[in-house]
Every structure is written in structure tokens, then in C-alpha cells.
Structure 1
Amino acid sequence: MSLTLNRKHLDAINHHAERTYPDECCGLLIGRLTETGRVVSEIWTTENTWTQEVADEMGDGLLASKTRRYWIAPQEMLAVMKAARQQGLEIVGIYHSHPDHWAIPSECDRRLAWPQYSYLIVSVVQGKVINAQSWALDDHHQFQSETLHALECPRMRRESLIPNA
């Protein structure tokens, strides 16, 4: 599988990640599922609503800090699902940032992930995006890297984004 979006979307996600640093940003990827992967047609920025109350509900002593966790309010997820469906689209993924960490899913990311989505993680070091990587869950609920493509606008030239590991 792969995740495909246009460069303007990726730039907007990167800007969101830098603007919210040192907290994690988060948002939704809206589009369609195709035979080869998920294709994003728009992004929906959301507020990171992680709180101590959410942490307590999740259990396992998770931290309440937005610098290491994100949470999208369920009512916002539902509203976006409905709005996307009215356009013949669906949520195909979730993006979030990792401030001062690699674009690699955490154990918390894995535990809270849903198998139908791509997870785009943006690494932000000292306030600047350094790379992005997309992940998807396999049949054993483990993250596997997936190919991330950005389409240049307006020529729509395809380029593969390879993380700087």
C-alpha cells in the first residue's frame, strides 16, 4: 500500500507541525481508497485535545503532555466522517507530529491505531520539519512503513519521499 497526496497538502501539514511545536499537531487525511493505496484529496487540521483525563481513560500510566501525545476528539472525527461521506470521500488517514523525535510510531501510536488508516508522522526537530513517513498496520497490529508519494502541483509530477533516517 501507499499514501499519495499533493505537495500543497504536505506543505500545509509541515506548517501545522512547525506552528504547534513543541506540542504534537494532528489532523485527518480525507480521500479515497484505491487498489494501490490511499489517495488524499484534502486535509483537515484538528486540535490536539490530549488531556490528563484522556490519559487516565487510556490507562497504562500514559503521560498527559501534548509534547508526546495527541488526541482527536471523537465528536470531531464523527463530524469529519459525515462531511467526507457527503462528498463521496472518507477518512483515509491520520497525521501527527513527533517533536524532537523520529517519524517512527510509538507504542502508544500502535495501541491506539486503527487498521483502515494510514498514519503520516512528521518529525520536527527544534521547530523545523526534517522528514515524514507513512505507516499502516499489518494483520498482526504492527506498523509497517508504506510508500509516501507527493504529487507536484500543477504539473502533478510524482516523486517519492524517502525519510532521512
Structure 2
Amino acid sequence: MAMEGRKIGLAMDFSKGSKAALKWAIDGLLRKGDTLFIIHVKHAQGLESRNLIWSTSGTPLVPLAEFCDPEVMHGYGVQPEPDVLELLELISKQLEVTVLWKIYWGDAREKVCEAIGSLELDAMIMGSRGLSAIRRVLLGSVTSYVLEHATCPVTVVKDRGNEC
């Protein structure tokens, strides 16, 4: 599949932060001819036997039309939220952006970086969960890890709903 335009990745876990990142990308980054790769990482313990074939490299690229099919997504163990699907269908049609999903199983930090390299992304967009410094140290931060290890520019979008 020959792709025109830029290859932009977006980490999507359906959190407020990742939804804010999607809205930010729609409002000011994406343009006609771009390809938006939605990167979704599931915990490895949720890996069902039918998905073992993709456990190391992730699924094949899933077109938006297939991702909108509840039966297809049930097979991958993903329950996309309707508001996210609506936004993606909107940009696909109005902005003429190609939207593809890639689902990985494992550690989100490593898998997002793997996606950046294997998909040869021009940029990566991520939402911030707004963890405090102490919680980041105790829990780790996917965003911090990706910022340090990514081979392309990374933009972190804060969910403005958490501001004082």
C-alpha cells in the first residue's frame, strides 16, 4: 500500500488523555493525505490463543472500516468507544486521512517504541494521564519512556480537564 503524506502515530487507550491527543491532532496537525496509525497496547495476560500469532509483532494493520465492526474488534479483545470511532470516521471522510489500527500485547512503553520503528512514523502523539511526580516514579510513565527512546518527534498532549 503506497502512502502519501505523513505517517503519524497516536497512542490510544481510550483514556481522557488519549482522547485529548486525538482531538488535538484533528484540530491542528492532520491534513489531507496523511496516514494516522492508532496504536493500541493490551496487557499480555489478556492475550487469547487466537491472537498468539501476533503476540510479538502486533496485528496486521486494521482498516477503520473493520475496526468499526464490533465482531472484528471482539476477536481482538478491544472495545472501541463510539465517540472515538465517530471522530476517526469524520477525519477519514472530511480530511481524507487514512486511519489504520495496530494492536500490540505487552508492555506499552516497549510496544509504542516498537511501533514507531516498525511503522517508520514521522511523529507520535500521546496523551498525558497527569500523574504526579511520586506516582510517575512508583508506577513508571509510558510517556516518559517513549520521549526518551523514540526515534521520531513525540508530542504529549495534556487533558485540559484536569487543570485548576
TM superposition score category, shorter chain reference? 0.3 to 0.5
TM-score normalised by length of structure 1: 0.34
Q: Going by fraction, where is strand more abundant, 1 or 2?
A: 1
Q: Going by fraction, where is helix more abundant, 1 or 2?
A: 2
TM-score normalised by length of structure 2: 0.34
Higher RCO, Cα 8 Å, sep 6+: 2
